[in-house]
Structure 1
Amino acid sequence: METEKKPAIEMVKKGSKSQFKNFPMVPRVVYGVGCFDQLGDILLPKRKNSEAPIIYLVDEVFEHKALPGRLPVLFNDKVIFISADEEPKTEQVDTLVSYIKKEFEELPSGIVGIGGGTLLDMAKAVSIMLNNNGSAHNYQGWDLVGKPAIYHVGIPTISGTGAEVSRTTVLLGPSKKLGINSDYTTFDQVLLDPDLTIGVPKDQWFYTGMDCYIHCIESLNGSYLNAFSQSYGEKALDMCKEVFLGDLSPEESREKLMMASWHGGMSIAYSQVGVAHAMSYGLSYVLGTKHGIGNCLVFQHLQDYYPEGVKLFHEMKRQHKIELPKNICGALTDEEMDTMISVSLGMEPLWENALGRSWREKISRETLKELYLKI
């Protein structure tokens, strides 16, 4: 589908001058097999004193495995295991922040998130809310955060979401699913160790990897496309094709997908995602569908919007023998369907990127209902 093209590097007029958006990037990143073992050295100079702990938020899948024993725990550091079975919620963030403030006399020296997109988003949100008043749901939106987050580190253990590099932390709130989009959200430090992704179940590996692939397709076909986004998106897309259609060794596949995730996240820093993500937000809010599989469930039916991308998606799905759930929207009430559609349509920047500035004339509630009923 043709989209209206407009300059994606948006400018804000200031008198006779134009001001370009000044997006943050992760200032420090270490990459390589085994680099996780450098975490202690990285954290040591960030420790304020023995009473200001490092809080490790770790996917509970690692609770009885070797990884926790490798954490550089000192003084009164705290390891908190968190389930990633559901999307992160603003209420969950508020509970964690309240616990940390009551448990420790001083604010932590830092927050370390270890896991997939859910844990990375939790770490970003908690680090923000420890330094800002009120509930996390008050900050869902764009540039609502007033004070910098405390020092926070992201360590992905599955590749594809791009959460390790993005300026957003996507949360389910009481009335919407929306990110805390802020210059203060971005991690201060990221560790990319491909070996941490060993053992990821195949279906989860596929769904999360497809999140990266769909990032690329939506960014590269959007009206916000520019040379900055294109350079990262094309590289990420090439690596996704190598991983999901090529003949790589397991080691090469882990390394390629980890870097595809990084580049895919960067591709939307100066751009946006599109139809699949907008509709996936509705699925997640009403049905609790996890982000990766939600994108897949929607994307398979978007041939009218991304014909070549959808064709390649089905080829990847066939090659890896992935079967997606069916008829998950068939039993929705009218009220639930209306809510799902409203949540989706509320993602205005995503629709504008996908369909151009006149997107409201090109998509309707009826069209979205028809698409959802195919899922």
Structure 2
Amino acid sequence: MNYKNFPMVPRVVFGRGSFNQLSEIISPKRLNTKAPFIYLIDDVFKNDAWLTSRVALSYDDRIIFVSSEEEPKTTQVDDLVEDIILSFKERPSGIIGIGGGTILDLAKAVSLMLTNEGGAKDYQGWDLIKNPGIYHVGIPTISGTGAEVSRTTVLTGPTRKLGINSDFTPFDQVILDSELIKDVPTDQWFYTGMDCYIHCVESLTGTYLNTFSQTYGNMALELCKEVFLEHNLTEVESQEKLMMASWHGGMSIAYSQVGVAHAMSYGLAYLLGIKHGIGNCIVFDHLEEFYPEGVKLFKKMKKIHNITLPKGICADLSDKDLDIMINTAMGLEPLWENAIGKNWKKTITKEKLKSLYQKM
């Protein structure tokens, strides 16, 4: 048996208001006065002085506001990298991502592509990155994706949606400040939180399950239940617990894998551009056959929080479009193997996936 030797985030700060320590944390990492820190910040904060005024810029440091309306793309990574290379004489001291999963994935990818030749699409897959990226910091402003702790950066490329999975992907530093997630709209809070919940269900019921994954997965699942089912938590407690659920949920899949909902939501994202969190919810709503208990609880949470999911998104798709989604989903073999087992191709056919997509 060849056990995987996974890296973890080496440094993490947790605590309400810890974002104020950012400059103190990163300043020892500045290479010189000409090597800037580049801040990739979700553009929802563009006019939010409460957050941006706390980012202390020195020398040639720069903030780049990035839209998170769409899933991150390999072309977007390449454009950011080119912009940075052309704008500065020296390689940056570091990349700091401040936002949700989209921004955190972009920050990880940009860090890697500043030190590896070619385009981001060349590295979609497992362990293709050869050189460590530059110093990179993740600061989540929404909780659930686990992007702050994972060894992948999920990107939509020209031919597929697939992560850059590598030992060099995880952040060098993470700051978990629950105050940063206080203004997240309810539906967004739910969809991203459910990404974490679905991670856990898929990890805990999968064939790859082991004690390492189970321990983190159970902890994240219990925290999700507290946040989404109980009414006696204060706002601060709810925010802190969801932040830790996201962290543990991300850890639970480090040594295992996700499953059916994630595989099929990749198809929705690749063809229709549907964002990851809501895509997972749309798919998971129809997966009683695979996750009976998990889906039952999901529907209960949906009802408690008055969430209405979009319907009929695949109703008018052509067979060609459906085939694109099916092929994208079926290409994620480790996810299916985790969900169903080594002989998954016997039960997961194109017809099976087509009938599931047509329900959505």
TM-score (ref. length: structure 2): 0.99
Deviation at 1:68, TM superposition (A): 1.0
Partners of 1:191 and 1:55 lie apart in 2 by: 16
Aligned to 1:221: 205
Partners of 2:98 and 2:336 lie apart in 1 by: 32
Q: In structure 1, the residue corresponding to 2:53 is in which secondary structure?
A: helix
Aligned to 2:308: 323
Q: In structure 1, the residue corresponding to 2:98 is in which secondary structure?
A: strand
Q: Percent identity, aligned pairs only? A: 66
Aligned to 1:342: 327
Task: Find 2:113's aligned residue among 126, 129, 133.
Answer: 129
Aligned to 2:354: 369
Q: Which deviations, in whole Å up to 9, do the C-alpha atoms of 1:74-106 show, x marking residues without a partner?
A: 111010000000000000000000010000000
Aligned to 1:297: 282
Q: Which structure 1 residue ranges, 5 or more long, are not aligned?
A: 1-10, 13-19
- The yes-or-no answer on 1:49 pairing with 2:32 is yes
Task: Find 1:139's aligned residue among 117, 123, 126.
Answer: 123
Task: Find 2:188's aligned residue among 180, 190, 204.
Answer: 204
Partners of 1:304 and 1:333 lie apart in 2 by: 26
Q: How is 1:106-121 mapped onto 2 (pairs within 5 angstroms)?
A: 106-121=90-105
Q: Which deviations, in whole Å up to 9, do the C-alpha atoms of 1:171-202 show, x marking residues without a partner?
A: 00000000000000000000000000011000
Deviation at 1:299, TM superposition (A): 0.1
Aligned to 2:67: 83
Deviation at 1:219, TM superposition (A): 0.1
Partners of 1:246 and 1:198 lie apart in 2 by: 18
Q: Which structure 2 residue ranges, 5 or more long, are not aligned?
A: none
Q: How is 1:83-102 mapped onto 2 (pairs within 5 angstroms)?
A: 83-102=67-86
Aligned to 1:33: 16
Deviation at 1:141, TM superposition (A): 0.1
Aligned to 2:267: 282
AA aligned opposite 1:35: S
AA aligned opposite 2:137: V
Deviation at 1:72, TM superposition (A): 1.9
AA aligned opposite 1:276: A
Task: Find 1:255's aligned residue among 237, 240, 247.
Answer: 240
Partners of 2:37 and 2:153 lie apart in 1 by: 20
Q: How is 1:163-242 mapped onto 2 (pairs within 5 angstroms)?
A: 163-242=147-226
Q: Which deviations, in whole Å up to 9, do the C-alpha atoms of 1:132-152 show, x marking residues without a partner?
A: 000000000000001000000
Partners of 1:334 and 1:114 lie apart in 2 by: 39
Aligned to 1:3: none
Aligned to 1:4: none
AA aligned opposite 2:339: A
TM-score (ref. length: structure 1): 0.95
Count of matched residue pairs: 358
C-alpha root-mean-square deviation of aligned residues, in Å? 0.5
Deviation at 1:342, TM superposition (A): 0.1
Partners of 1:91 and 1:50 lie apart in 2 by: 30
Deviation at 1:249, TM superposition (A): 1.1
Deviation >6 Å, runs of 4+: none
Deviation at 1:303, TM superposition (A): 0.3
Q: In structure 2, the residue corresponding to 1:70 is in which secondary structure?
A: coil
AA aligned opposite 1:51: K
